[in-house]
Amino acid sequence: MKFLKVDNCDTILDFDPKCLQMNICDYIVFLRSKNLASQSIAAYVAAIRKFLDMNDIIALNWKKIHSFEPEAEQRNEDRPYTNVEIATLLSKSSPRDRAIILLMASAGVRVGAIAYPLLLKDLQPIDEHHIFKITVYRKSPSRYYTFCTPEARRELEAHLDWRRRLGEQLKDDSPVFRKSFDSPRIQKPVPVTVSSISWNINNLLKQCGLRSFAPLTENQSIPKRTEIMRCHGFRKFFETNAFKAGMNNMYIRRLMGQKSNLEDSYLKLSHSDLLEGDDRHIGYVGIMDSLTIDESQKLRREVETLRVERSSWESLREEVNSLKDLLKQP
The pLDDT tens digits for 61-110 are 999 999 999 987 766 678 999 999 999 999 999 999 999 999 999 999 99
pLDDT over 90 (residue 240):
yes
Torsion of CA 211, 90, 296, 288, to 10 degrees: -80
Q: Which residue has the higher pLDDT, 182 or 280?
A: 280
Checking if the pLDDT of 301 tops 70, the result is no
Closest CA to 269 of 145, 103, 131: 145
> Worst-scoring range by mean pLDDT, 60-69, 130-139, 313-322?
313-322
Weakest-pLDDT range from 30-44, 87-101, 164-178, 218-232: 218-232
What are the boundaries of each domain within the chain? 9-66, 80-214+226-302
What's the pTM value of the predicted model, to 2 decimals? 0.77
Measured between alpha carbons, how far is 107 from 288 in angstroms, rounded to an integer?
10
For residue 142, report the phi and psi dihedrals to the nearest 5 degrees: -90, 15
Q: How confident is the model at residue 317 (pLDDT cuts 50, 70, 90)?
A: confident
d(CA 157, CA 165): 12
Q: Both ends of the chain: CA-CA distance in Å? A: 101
Q: How far is CA 25 from CA 1, 44, 69, 140, in A?
A: 14, 12, 9, 38
Query: For position 306, what pLDDT does the model report?
Result: 65
Question: For residue 117, is the peptide bond before it cis, meaning its omega torsion is within 30 degrees of 0?
Answer: yes
Count CB-CB contacts under 10 A for residue 167: 9
In this structure, the number of other CB atoms found within 10 A of the CB of residue 4 comes to: 15
Question: Across residues 137-153, what is the average pLDDT?
Answer: 95
Q: Which residues contact 202 (CB under 8 A, 6 or more apart)?
A: 211, 230
Greatest Cα pair distance in the chain: 109
Count of CB atoms within 10 A of residue 206's CB?
Answer: 13
Higher pLDDT, 97 or 5: 97
Does residue 323 surpass a pLDDT of 90? Answer: no
Nearest-angstrom CA–CA distance, 328 and 260: 61
Q: Identify which has the larger pLDDT, 111 or 301.
A: 111
Q: Which pLDDT does position 72 carry in this prediction?
A: 79
Cβ-contact 130, 150 below 8 angstroms: yes
pLDDT of residue 238: 98
Query: How much of the chain exceeds pLDDT 70, in percent?
Result: 88
DSSP state of 287: G
For 188-238, write each residue's pLDDT tens digit: 899 999 999 999 999 999 999 998 766 666 665 566 678 899 999 999 999
Average pLDDT estimate for 169-192: 89
The Cα 150–Cα 129 span in angstroms is 7
Residue 305's pLDDT band, with cuts at 50, 70 and 90, is low
Helices (H), the chain: 17-33, 38-54, 62-66, 83-91, 95-107, 111-114, 150-165, 194-208, 232-244, 249-256, 262-266, 271-276, 288-291, 295-328
pLDDT in tens, 117-126: 999 999 999 9
Average pLDDT, the chain: 88
Look at residue 144 in the predicted model and tell me its pLDDT. Answer: 95
The yes or no reply on domain 80-214+226-302 and CATH 3.20.20.60 is: no
pLDDT at res. 268: 87
CA 88 to chain centre: 19
